[in-house]
């Protein structure tokens, strides 16, 4: 079934992801000065594509899935952002995720606009062959929008290097030439980049460490609670563990584990990599999912889906820094509650920008067909993340706003200045 009207045409009290994004734009608007003239450009996507994706299933029937690709803004460069396969994907969500990509790319200074895509499907219900046919047909339907200099997809929730390889191959066949730069997050054998798989989680850690330093929190022995143990949460857990922190709670769809002394992260990563449910790991106590929010920590790292920290659980959260590995995990009301309680929120558009930053490196490497060493990539990634953090922190201090509003101020200034210089056509 089609999502109803685009959310920006719905009443403004709709609290869906696009509603959250719109509230964030409203919050930054008073700080934009004369650039406010252009702010409406951020309040609607540039273009939206909804596609039907018919797939021949293994049993011979044809199933139809709904796919999306949204170009939110291309003022600073081509569209860029991931593709999500999830049973709850909606147009409102993809629009919000595309908006956050626009802001994120500007916040860390990579030369892209913002885009996002998704298919409303539970990929766990598909065979390997069905997943490949779904991906290839969706890519073909996107042919009118994507391209190395137009719009460059990447992995997101439930998509990976294999899916990027199929997308690259399908696009290349349709174009009659191998075009590695059409997607990022590819396997190394197809123009992927060293360091890309770990980049988002690594960036989360690097920015978290910078924020911890400012807050006077020592990483050694710090308590970390992580929601989501996929590519982002798993890598962040590993980085914190290697820095001497204790990962005291982890939650994923299978359940929640708690261990006040710190979970054995390498063993847990190996357990999950072998396809076993996180919650059945034998080290640590299994606790009810809702109790995750009561766990005392120094860092709370939501690394799953949107709108997890809300009006309802924000008053209970006992942490010092919320480090947003996920996109949009905290609602504006929850932001206010956390701020009033003295809890620092390091926003998604900064904290999880490591992924798209190394996507940018991958794209540059594909264009030049010259590949960098992992040390070079990690060093450049760390530098970009640290250099993005400092002016955001300084803006938060000087203008007395949250890190989120500060990140939005700096990013929106960059986007809207580009908008202004390009001018309105005709
Ligand atoms: N899906 C990731 C994100 O939300 C990465 C996007 C990209 O590399 O283009 O930032």
**Whether the predicted pLDDT of 315 surpasses 90:** yes
pLDDT, tens digit (0-9, with 9 covering 90-100), for 231-262: 999 999 999 999 999 999 999 999 999 999 99
Residue whose CB lies within 8 A of the most ligand 1 atoms, among 110, 348, 355, for a mutation test:
355
pLDDT band at 128 (very low <50, low <70, confident <90, very high): very high
| Residue 154 beta carbon below 6 angstroms from any ligand 1 atom | yes
How does DSSP classify residue 336? H
Q: Which two tokens stand for residue 250?
A: 């982890």
Distance between CA 94 and CA 97 in Å, rounded?
5
- C-alpha angle 236-239-244 in degrees, rounded to nearest 5: 125
Domain boundaries, the chain: 47-178, 199-351
Domain 47-178 matches domain 199-351 at the CATH topology level: yes
pLDDT > 50? residue 37:
yes
Q: Report the candidate in 61, 67, 50 with the shortest Cα–Cα distance to residue 130.
A: 61
Tell me whether residue 116 is one of the annotated catalytic residues: yes
Check if 82 has its Cβ closer than 6 Å to any atom of ligand 1: yes
Convert the pLDDT of each residue in 49-66 to its tens digit.
999 999 999 999 999 999
How do strand 223-227 and strand 299-302 relate by DSSP bridges? parallel
Can you give the pLDDT at residue 5?
Answer: 44
% of the chain exceeding 90 in pLDDT: 96
Pocket lining: 231 vs ligand 1, CB cutoff 6 Å: no
Q: What six digits make up the tokens of 167? A: 């997308």
List, for residues 89-98, the tens digit of each pLDDT value: 999 999 999 9
Which of 239, 223, 220, 242 lies closest to 231, judged by CA?
239
CATH classification for the domain delimited by 199-351, as one of 3.40.47.10, 3.90.850.10, 3.40.50.11030, 3.40.50.720 = 3.40.50.720
In the 8-state DSSP scheme, what is residue 54?
A: E
pTM score > 0.75 for this model?
Answer: yes
Tokens for 209? 């460490």
Closest ligand 1 atom to Cα of 83: 1
Average pLDDT of 19-48?
A: 98
Q: At what angle do helices 374-399 and 354-368 cross, to 10 degrees?
A: 140
Q: Which strands, in side-by-side order, build the sheet including 83-86?
A: 47-56, 62-73, 114-120, 83-86
As a whole number, mean pLDDT of residues 71-88 equals 98
Q: Determine the 3-state secondary structure of 214 from DSSP.
A: helix
SS3 179: coil
99 lines ligand 1 (CB under 6 A): no
Q: What is the mean pLDDT of residues 22-51?
A: 98
- Peptide bond between residue 67 and the one before it cis (omega within 30 degrees of 0): no
The phi and psi torsions of 300 (rounded to 5 degrees) equal -115, 120
Selection from 219, 205, 211, 230 nearest residue 381 by Cα: 205
What per-residue confidence (pLDDT) applies to 306?
96
Q: CATH assignment of 47-178?
A: 3.40.50.10860
Contact 173, 308 (CB under 8 A): no
- When pLDDT is averaged across residues 327-338 and rounded to a whole number, the result is 98
The two three-digit tokens of residue 201, written as one number:
């989680």
Atom of ligand 1 nearest to the CA of 100: 4
Burial letters 193-231, b for 16+ CB under 10 A, else e: bbbbbbbbbbbbbbbbbbbbeeeebebeebbbbbbbbbb
Q: What is the DSSP letter of 256?
A: E
Round to whole Å and give the CA distance between 131 and 126: 6
Catalytic residue among 80, 104, 116, 186: 116
CA distance 8 to 2: 16
């Amino acid at each position: 079934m089609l999502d109803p009207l685009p959310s920006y045409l719905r009443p403004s009290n709709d609290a869906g992801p696009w509603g959250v994004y719109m509230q964030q734009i409203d919050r930054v608007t008073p700080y934009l000065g004369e650039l406010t003239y252009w702010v409406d450009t951020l309040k609607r996507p540039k273009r939206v594509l909804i596609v039907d994706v018919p797939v021949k299933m293994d049993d011979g029937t044809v199933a139809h899935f709904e796919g999306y690709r949204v170009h939110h803004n291309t003022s600073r460069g081509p569209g860029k952002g991931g593709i999500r396969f999830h049973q709850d994907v909606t147009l409102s969500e993809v629009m919000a995720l595309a908006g956050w990509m626009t802001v994120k790319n500007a916040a860390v200074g990579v030369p892209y606009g913002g885009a996002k895509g998704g298919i409303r499907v539970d990929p766990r219900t598909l065979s390997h062959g069905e997943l490949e046919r779904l991906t290839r047909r969706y890519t073909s339907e996107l042919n009118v929008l994507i391209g190395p200099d137009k719009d460059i997809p990447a992995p997101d929730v439930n998509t990976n290097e294999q899916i990027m390889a199929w997308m690259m191959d399908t696009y290349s066949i349709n174009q009659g030439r191998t075009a590695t730069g059409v997607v990022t997050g590819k396997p190394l054998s197809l123009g992927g980049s060293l360091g890309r798989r770990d980049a988002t989680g690594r960036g989360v850690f690097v920015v978290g460490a910078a924020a911890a330093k400012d807050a006077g929190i020592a990483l050694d022995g710090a308590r970390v609670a992580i929601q989501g143990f996929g590519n982002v949460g798993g890598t962040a857990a590993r980085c914190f563990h290697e820095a001497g922190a204790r990962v005291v709670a982890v939650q994923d769809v299978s359940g929640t584990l708690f261990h006040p002394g710190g979970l054995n992260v390498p063993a847990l990563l190996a357990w999950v990599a072998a396809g076993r449910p996180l919650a059945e790991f034998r080290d640590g106590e299994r606790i009810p999912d809702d109790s995750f929010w009561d766990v005392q920590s120094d860092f709370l790292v939501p690394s799953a889906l949107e709108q997890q920290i809300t009006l309802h659980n924000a008053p209970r959260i006992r942490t010092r820094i919320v480090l947003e590995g996920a996109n949009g995990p905290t609602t504006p009301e929850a932001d206010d509650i956390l701020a009033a309680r003295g809890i620092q929120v390091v926003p998604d558009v900064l904290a999880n920008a490591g992924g798209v930053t190394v996507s940018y490196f991958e794209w540059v490497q594909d264009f030049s067909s010259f590949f960098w060493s992992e040390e070079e990539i990690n060093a450049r990634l760390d530098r970009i993340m640290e250099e993005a953090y400092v002016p955001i922190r300084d803006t938060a201090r000087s203008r007395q706003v949250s890190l989120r509003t500060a990140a939005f101020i700096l990013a929106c200034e960059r986007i809207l200045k580009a908008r202004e210089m390009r001018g309105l056509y005709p």
